[in-house]
Structure 1
Amino acid sequence: MALEIVQPEGLDKPETYSHVIAATGSRLVFIAGQMSDDPDGNLVAPGDLAAQARQVFANLGRALTAAGARPDQVAKITIYVVDHRREYLPIIEAARIAVFGDHKPTDTLLGVQTLAAPGYLIEVDAIAVVD
Structure 2
Amino acid sequence: MPLEIIQPDGLDRPTTYSHVITATGGKLVFIAGQMSDDSDGNLVHAGDLASQAQQVFANLGRALSAAGARPSQVVRLGIHVVGHRREYLPIIEQARIELFGDHKPTDTLIGVETLAAPGYLIEIDAIAVTD
Q: Distance in 2 between matches of 1:26 and 1:8?
A: 25
Match of 2:90 in 1: 90
Give the CA deviation at 1:71. Answer: 0.2
Match of 1:121 in 2: 121
TM-score scaled to structure 1, two decimals?
0.98
Match of 2:109 in 1: 109
Q: SS of the counterpart of 1:96?
A: helix
Match of 2:35 in 1: 35
Q: SS of the counterpart of 2:11?
A: coil
The 5 A counterparts of 1:43-122 are 43-122=43-122
Q: SS of the counterpart of 1:29?
A: strand
TM-score scaled to structure 2, two decimals?
0.98
Listed as ranges, the gaps of 5+ residues in structure 1 are none
Root-mean-square deviation (CA, aligned residues, Å) is 0.6
Q: Tell me the amino acid that sits aligned with residue 62 of structure 2.
A: R
Listed as ranges, the gaps of 5+ residues in structure 2 are none
Q: Tell me the amino acid that sits aligned with residue 73 of structure 2.
A: Q
- Runs (4 or more) in structure 1 with deviation over 2 Å come to none
Q: Distance in 1 between matches of 2:2 and 2:28?
A: 11
Give the CA deviation at 1:27. Answer: 0.4
Give the CA deviation at 1:45. Answer: 0.5
